[in-house]
């Protein structure tokens, strides 16, 4: 295995904006702001385009279960277009606060705003605590917070992070009707840098296969027969290619691991196309399962040494 | 096979509202309004709750790729809670028009509104044709149309159906930056009625399995070994049950088909839990693949007759 | 499950003869001679023919690792021709003694005889202890013993059972160069009687499948996906059917077990032909592995009840 | 792929004797006698031992369906002990003639001899045409021919080749009750020489796996997922290792083929032990199926190049 390709750590970021979104909150949770700064993007495709063009070093976008940006643009944005790779993931519990201007309280909230999805997820709380408020849509939860600060609204259903950013006070917290939702965010970059294996990594792929019974089974067999667990799997229709399905997959392990590399080679032979979207440390707080001996790098090395001897006529 | 359970066809519907949404457009595309009428629901969970409570006979909601309501609430709403079954599906091409008051034109659109996701999907068109318009979020595309009719906005990015409903004129059409998106909608009811098999059906399930390498492979093997193609597959984390994954699956065939019934029995043994979400005619315009002889009902009947004879001591 | 088909226990047997063979020894090991008596057959096909014709109630023949009769005639004799089912199996350690006339010893053995295979398996012992003896082939080990009793030979390499039967003394025992060989014998009958399940049973089948990559994998999947272990598997070319392979299989479990019955139904659909060769108590001294809950009869019953409810429109 | 290891072609052979056996006939069918000559061995183990010790360059022995030597000693002889590899295979139709002394006819055959298995396979013919002959066992079919030449017998059921070798005349041919049997023979050598791939090759292995449901399935998956057909498969109990099964396997392809090498690496990881018994041209007269593109060497090369680029941080 050659040395891991390294490169400068990204310093300029685009995130799904505007300022104050859960996405920015997740980005901030990873450490202090980088010197290059971070800029809000108007949409996931816009953030990805900024990363592709080099306008920023990396885009930071939601991948699963987001409130404001649905998942599809990220998954589809990776599956198509110029290659991008994931270099980091982050998880953030998504809950809402009621942000009001300093000194105000619940009784002062005549006009309440937020992104329609956030309003949908806090409908019960609002009906109980603010039954008489006028409920208004906003372009994002963060935008609602900004509108409160500017006086156009009296209350915002928003991330605590947005309330802080726009100088609001938290009049109430834990507004989600179903608490505990966690959103997963990823940092994506142009190819070139590959995070070093940590022993607890994930790899993300898109596999395109012809539409036949058993194609998915064949595909999954290549993971299972190498002891690789999948942590996410979604079939997605491909609009452009008739009769072709795509599977968006997260699996355990790093492309530098022999078992993952071996599976990739098999998938490359099996599929119409495989797109590699990076290997990166997992951040879901789950310990990676111990890799059974027969799937460890040494097992591959031993087996390949044996094969090489057989091909030279030795007994093995 | 006993006679198919039948019951009264639903006449009262709840749909993901408000009036004029793509969801209502899809519902209307299935036929003239029913006598019981249809009422808008404020959210997918609200629509499902109305079906569960008996307030309506059926709910009509998006299942894949929707603009206004993300998929998750429908899938999660089926997977948990009181049982509901899908009895019908519909597909609708999702594209946007610019709705304006009669007599108005592009030049009159100073204030443009829509659901944030619809605005995101038409950003290119808007930047080119209405660069100076103030862009405002609305709770839904239909709500934007209503606000235009009421004079609060000058233009709405909305379904053509919404423009018609609110008496608007179409000042421009095909606004989507990436045209061709199709959304899939489903009609769900309380269990009791099972649409008769048509020879081109789909069955929807949620399977809960323990988190181990190979669990998904085992699950898919039960479909593949009976010649059943999957048309959609998504892994979803289960928030409540640690270490348990759920798979939301659409497959070809009807629960009344022997191969599908046989697969369900196997899945029931294999999985922690299987939830059945209905069998219904497929409406995706794709012909069902011919079922190979060895997966046909007669093959099951013949084989079971043979087994019965063996168990009675015959040679078979 | 209907009552097990029963019938009169066989009383008249044909065994691979002549008298004194390992086969007769194995038959005797199962209990005292039956009233109907047992007759030697000249060959495995002859013994099977006697069972088929009704001349005897059952044939007793070697199935694996025999010295005097190779396995193939038994396996091929079951796979083709009129149906026969196995109703019992027995295992016997195969070792040889040196049988001599009473009063004689090693020094008296000038002419030593046995079946060529038995001579091959004791070559080392003979070379060491009887280097000067003339070694002569016999039609069977038992025939060699008979020839010693008649004075035509001085020593026979034969089963201890044959020495007893022909009134010989054992001049030496444990002659096999590689001790510990065990031969498996089976009792076969015309169909009609099916031994009751004991919880530790075996089932024997021949499966004919078209010659394509993956056919065997599909076949084995039907066993593995129902938790059924195979205890023997042999591919055999089929002479008569071009491009068709047959697999002779022993698996754990009884045709009356749900999981075995379910697998048989699947195999019947999958294969060109499946021949059932009986379910019978295993006699290999190995405890049957506990059947995991999801493969137990109750799991099938529960699952089928659930399916029946689904098909009637219930929620399951 | 390095150049194929080559070495001197064997010139000294041991074959399963004595002179005149089907085995010698098969050896002769491959070409004129080599200069080093060929010597009969008393048994399959003896022939293998001569190859192992270097007394001869190669042993020539039956592997499937032999009359005189059962298959087991060859398969077991390869599976255990010092490594040996197969370098050539040959097929011979096994049928019998009646060998008599020149000038004699059927009426002169008072004493008829052969190996017991050959006598069993011609019982019908003998009963019809020589009902009064005394039937005597011989150590081999060839030995029976020799005894006829020496006058100790009057007729031998033997290969035509044996009749020629011992100067007998063929009084009748095609004696087998079930004609058409073909026996497969193999040439085995000490490792060191590996026949060059021809595009229509076979590879022989013994795989040892722990006794668990699914182990065999896993094993076969490694072949099937690489498009490799098996041409022979036998499970064999391992006497020495409790709870371990061995599978004796012939598959299509050559160890130098990428797909075969890749499968071997996987098997090496999967199995307790894999023994390689050689790759050699197939001689069964069946054309090798065309290798689908995704299993061809170029598909492996392309995929591995892609993986290497990924690991260096490229987009692939």
Pair (B260, B138) in one structural domain: no
In a domain, D82, yes or no: yes
For the ranges A212-221, B1-10, D170-179, the one whose mean pLDDT is highest: D170-179
Q: How far apart are the first and last CA of chain B?
A: 24
Please name the member of C294, C304, C313 whose beta carbon is closest to the beta carbon of B270. C294
* pLDDT tens profile C258-270: 999 999 999 999 9
Reduced to 3 states (helix: H, G, I; strand: E, B; else coil), residue B173 is strand
* pLDDT tens profile A63-109: 987 777 667 889 989 998 999 999 999 999 989 999 999 999 999 99
Pair (B276, B234) in one structural domain: yes
In a domain, B4, yes or no: no
Q: pLDDT tier at D237 (50, 70, 90 boundaries)?
A: low
C72 touches chain D (CB under 8 A): yes
D81 touches chain C (CB under 8 A): no
Question: Domain residues for A296?
Answer: 194-315
Using a CB-CB cut-off of 8 Å, the residues of chain B touching A137 are 115-116, 137-139, 143
Reduced to 3 states (helix: H, G, I; strand: E, B; else coil), residue D257 is coil
C301 touches chain B (CB under 8 A): no
Determine the pLDDT at residue C1: 46
Please name the member of B116, B231, B235 whose beta carbon is closest to the beta carbon of A234. B235
D39 touches chain C (CB under 8 A): no
Number of structural domains in chain B: 3
Residue from B65, B81, B117 whose CB has the most chain A CBs within 10 Å, to mutate: B117
Higher pLDDT, A261 or A216: A261
Pair (D221, D278) in one structural domain: yes
C22 has pLDDT over 60: yes
In a domain, B172, yes or no: no
CA distance C76 to C66: 15
Task: Kindly state the average pLDDT of the residues A21-28.
Answer: 94
In a domain, A237, yes or no: yes
Identify the helix (H) or strand (E) that includes residue C292. none
Pair (B50, B186) in one structural domain: yes
**b/e code C184-197 from CB counts within 10 Å (16+ = b):** bbbbbbbbebbbeb
Average pLDDT for chain A = 90
Task: Kindly state the average pLDDT of the residues B126-145.
Answer: 95
Task: Note whether D255 contacts A310, CB cutoff 8 Å.
Answer: yes
The CATH number of the domain holding residue B249 is 3.30.70.260
Determine the pLDDT at residue C4: 62
- With CA atoms as reference, report the closest residue to C140 among D116, D73, D126: D116
D35 has pLDDT over 90: no
- With CA atoms as reference, report the closest residue to B89 among B285, B283, B286, B250: B283
Pair (B199, B106) in one structural domain: no
Determine the pLDDT at residue B240: 57
Pair (A67, A188) in one structural domain: yes
Pair (C133, C224) in one structural domain: no
Pair (A156, A46) in one structural domain: no
Lowest mean pLDDT among A100-109, B156-165, C163-172, D31-40: D31-40
What are the percentages of helix, strand and coil residues in chain B, rounded to 5?
A: 30, 30, 40
The percentage of chain C sitting over the pLDDT mark of 90, rounded to a whole number, equals: 71
The residues, ordered by sequence, that sit 6+ positions from D216 with a Cβ below 8 Å of its Cβ are C220, C230, C233, D209, D235, D245, D247
In a domain, B224, yes or no: yes
* pLDDT tens profile D62-100: 998 777 766 788 998 999 899 999 999 999 998 999 999
For the ranges A109-118, B212-221, C2-11, the one whose mean pLDDT is highest: A109-118
Higher pLDDT, B209 or C262: C262
Average pLDDT for chain D = 90
* pLDDT tens profile A265-297: 999 999 999 999 999 999 987 776 788 899 999
Using a CB-CB cut-off of 8 Å, the residues of chain B touching A138 are 137
Pair (C150, C208) in one structural domain: no
Using a CB-CB cut-off of 8 Å, the residues of chain D touching C65 are 72
Pair (B72, B106) in one structural domain: no
D240 has pLDDT over 60: no
Pair (B89, B184) in one structural domain: yes
In a domain, B1, yes or no: no
Determine the pLDDT at residue B34: 80
Using a CB-CB cut-off of 8 Å, the residues of chain A touching B70 are 70-71, 117
Lowest mean pLDDT among A72-81, D156-165, D284-293: D284-293
Please name the member of D2, D7, D313 whose beta carbon is closest to the beta carbon of A191. D313
* pLDDT tens profile B12-22: 999 999 999 99
Using a CB-CB cut-off of 8 Å, the residues of chain D touching C68 are 116
Task: Kindly state the average pLDDT of the residues B116-140.
Answer: 93
A165 touches chain D (CB under 8 A): no
A9 has pLDDT over 80: yes
A290 touches chain D (CB under 8 A): no
Using a CB-CB cut-off of 8 Å, the residues of chain A touching D311 are 1-2, 5, 194, 255-256, 261
* pLDDT tens profile C219-240: 999 999 999 988 888 887 665 5
The percentage of chain C sitting over the pLDDT mark of 70, rounded to a whole number, equals: 94
Count of CB contacts below 8 A, B vs C?
114
Higher pLDDT, D23 or D4: D23
A30 touches chain D (CB under 8 A): no
- With CA atoms as reference, report the closest residue to A97 among A132, A152, A148: A148
Determine the pLDDT at residue D214: 77
Q: Chain A closest CA to B35's CA: distance in Å?
A: 30
Average pLDDT for chain C = 90
CB D221 within 8 A of CB C231: no
Residue from A197, A300, A311, A314 whose CB has the most chain D CBs within 10 Å, to mutate: A311
Q: How far apart are the first and last CA of chain D?
A: 24
**The CA-based dihedral angle spanning residues D106, D107, D108, D113, taken in that order and rounded to the nearest 10 degrees:** 50
The percentage of chain B sitting over the pLDDT mark of 90, rounded to a whole number, equals: 71
Determine the pLDDT at residue D178: 82
The CATH number of the domain holding residue D69 is 3.40.190.10
Pair (A22, A136) in one structural domain: no
Average pLDDT for chain B = 90
Task: Kindly state the average pLDDT of the residues C70-80.
Answer: 85
Higher pLDDT, A125 or A246: A125
CA distance C223 to B262: 15
Task: Kindly state the average pLDDT of the residues B292-315.
Answer: 92
Task: Kindly state the average pLDDT of the residues B212-228.
Answer: 87
Lowest mean pLDDT among A128-142, B58-72, C176-190, D173-187: B58-72
With contact defined as 3+ CB pairs under 8 Å, the chains touching A are: B, D
Task: Note whether A312 contacts D2, CB cutoff 8 Å.
Answer: yes
CB B79 within 8 A of CB B246: yes
* pLDDT tens profile B233-288: 888 766 555 567 789 999 999 999 999 999 999 999 999 999 999 999 999 877 76
In a domain, D5, yes or no: no
Task: Kindly state the average pLDDT of the residues C64-78.
Answer: 81
Determine the pLDDT at residue B1: 46
* pLDDT tens profile D109-152: 999 999 998 998 899 999 999 999 999 999 999 999 999 999 99
* pLDDT tens profile A129-182: 999 999 999 999 999 999 999 999 999 999 999 999 999 999 999 999 888 888
Determine the pLDDT at residue A308: 93
Report the side by side order of strands in the sheet with D230-237.
C273-281, C201-210, C244-252, C230-237, D230-237, D244-252, D201-210, D273-281
What are the percentages of helix, strand and coil residues in chain A, rounded to 5?
A: 30, 30, 40
DSSP secondary structure string, C143-169? HHHHHHHTTS-SEEEE-HHHHHHTT-E
In a domain, A108, yes or no: yes
B226 touches chain A (CB under 8 A): no
Determine the pLDDT at residue B243: 63
Q: pLDDT tier at B311 (50, 70, 90 boundaries)?
A: very high
Interface of B with A in 190-219 (CB under 8 A): 211-214, 216-217
Q: pLDDT tier at A32 (50, 70, 90 boundaries)?
A: confident
- With CA atoms as reference, report the closest residue to D265 among D305, D226, D216, D312: D226
In terms of CA atoms, which chain B residue is nearest residue A243?
Answer: B286
Task: Note whether D311 contacts A270, CB cutoff 8 Å.
Answer: no
């Amino acid at each position: 295995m050659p040395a891991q390709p390294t490169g400068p750590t990204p310093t300029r970021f685009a995130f799904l904006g505007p300022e104050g979104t859960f996405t920015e909150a997740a980005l901030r949770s990873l450490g202090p702001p980088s010197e290059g700064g971070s800029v809000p993007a108007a949409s996931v495709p816009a953030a990805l385009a900024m990363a592709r063009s080099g306008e920023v070093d990396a885009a930071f976008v939601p991948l699963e279960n987001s409130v404001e940006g649905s998942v599809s643009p990220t998954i589809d944005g990776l599956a198509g277009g110029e290659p991008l790779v994931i270099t980091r993931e982050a998880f953030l519990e998504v809950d809402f606060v009621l942000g009001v201007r300093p000194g105000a309280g619940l009784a002062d909230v005549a006009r309440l705003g937020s992104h329609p999805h956030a309003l949908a997820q806090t409908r019960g709380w609002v009906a109980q605590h603010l039954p008489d408020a006028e409920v208004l849509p906003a372009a994002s939860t963060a935008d609602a917070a900004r509108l409160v600060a500017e006086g156009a609204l009296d209350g915002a259903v928003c991330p605590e992070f947005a309330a802080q950013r726009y100088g609001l006070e938290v009049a109430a917290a834990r507004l989600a009707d179903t608490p505990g939702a966690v959103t997963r965010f990823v940092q994506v970059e142009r190819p070139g840098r590959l995070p070093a294996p940590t022993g607890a990594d994930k790899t993300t792929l898109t596999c395109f296969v012809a539409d036949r019974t058993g194609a998915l089974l064949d595909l999954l067999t290549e993971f299972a027969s190498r002891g690789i667990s999948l942590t996410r799997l979604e079939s997605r229709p491909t609009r452009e290619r008739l009769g072709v399905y795509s599977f968006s997959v997260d699996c355990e392990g790093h492309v530098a691991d022999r078992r993952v590399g071996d599976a990739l080679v098999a998938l490359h032979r099996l599929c119409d196309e495989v797109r590699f979207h990076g290997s990166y440390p997992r951040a879901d707080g789950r310990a990676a399962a111990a890799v059974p001996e027969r799937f460890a790098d040494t097992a591959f090395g031993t087996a390949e040494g044996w094969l090489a001897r057989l091909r030279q006529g030795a007994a093995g």
